[in-house]
Structure 1
Amino acid sequence: MTPQEAILIAKYVAAACPQQRFNEHTPDVWGDILAPYDVIEARAAITVVAARQPFISPAEIITEIKARRADRIEAASLVYDGDPGETGLESARSIRALTKAAGDGILPPRTPAAVLGAATRLALPPGESGPYTGRAAAVRAAVGQAIPKATTGVTNPRVISCRICQALPGTSCTTRGRRRQDVHPARLDDARRLAAGLPPTDPAEDLAAEQRIRDAAAALAASAEQPAPTYEDVT
């Protein structure tokens, strides 16, 4: 809140509470106390407090602002999956930014079922072509981060989807519904090929290679079961 906005807030309180005393120093003091808060949130809080009592203090305005923010955060049903590539500090910053976005009203209210189902299409940061759905898009839209993009010569498996578990770009791989600490080897291989400027691997070629390996292993096992040749066999 700026000093000019503090003056407007003092005038608003004076109009809402005509019996409350003010002087020329009141806007300065209130401005110092309410400086960390948004003027729109302060004005909304004043209307609530003034409806139940004839006098208003800055502390009561702050209490109402915090209560309304807490309600919005709870209604947003926040879930943050995290990023295996993040440090603890980066993860904490992401969570704080996501929480602030919910308190500011940027994230809409969602039921827990909607969060777990990840079925709601959410806004993406500017410049994202998308579309992406689910919690990864929610986090990056709120925090102001973009879905990771491929950079030539840099291997980042999270810039692409996973053909094993169908994880979307920017999200973690999963195994039997549980988030993995690493990514599937096939996703890492695809990312390496992308970074090297090579076309993605053909799934049919992967299956054929796996079949050749199985056939070779079966042939080796069969030859190991054959009895060793005797002298009579040789002669």
Structure 2
Amino acid sequence: MTQDEAVLLLEYVAAACPAQRIGEFTPDVWGELFAPYSLDEARAAVIVVASQQPFVAPADVITEIKARRAERIELANIVIDGDPTQTGAESAAALREIIRAAGDGLTGPSSIRASLGAGDRLALPPGADHGPYEGRAAAARAAIGKMPADRDPSKDPRGRACRKCGAAAGTSCTTSGRRRQDVHPIRLEDTKRAAAGLPLLDHDEAEARIKAAAAAALAHHQEQEQDQEQEVDAS
């Protein structure tokens, strides 16, 4: 982000939070804090933060930016095949470029297999070859190689929508508006049944089975702990 873009971002903040105080040197500070990020991702993060609290702190915006970048990188599902003709330093640099491109959203939610072939090209979203992403788009093409098909919903739980929280295919599950590191059990159950060629269970029936299985697992764990305690007491 440039200094001029930092001024635009603060104008956006002022429109979203009219009561927020913006001083003479605020654009200078925000320009330094947000230098590593683009105006578009910062503006999207401001909207999220401003919808949750009356004032927008840089730390909250940066936390939101990092969370969204981490999610995009996770959804990219990067797999590195490697290139025996590259040195270790070249491979590391290529991997960094792949991760950076995924964080920028240039790759989209998909499974990225980095074959790193010299003749391969990466299909990036329209417009990625222009504006602030021009250099990164070219570097990502050179580093990544090719992208296979989208996630297989019979193997990857995030390849299908979640019936618990309503998360769309290719996105993470959420609880109380916060992104989960794992998927809801019913989403995993649906994936297992799809892989086995079985029809999906009724939502209520599936939830009941999952809860029963969790309760049985907990009871089994408690029994094991009791047995261990008894063995210790006996010795």
- TM-score normalised by the chain length of structure 2: 0.49
Query: Which of 1 and 2 has greater Rg?
Result: 1
TM-score, normalised with respect to structure 1: 0.49
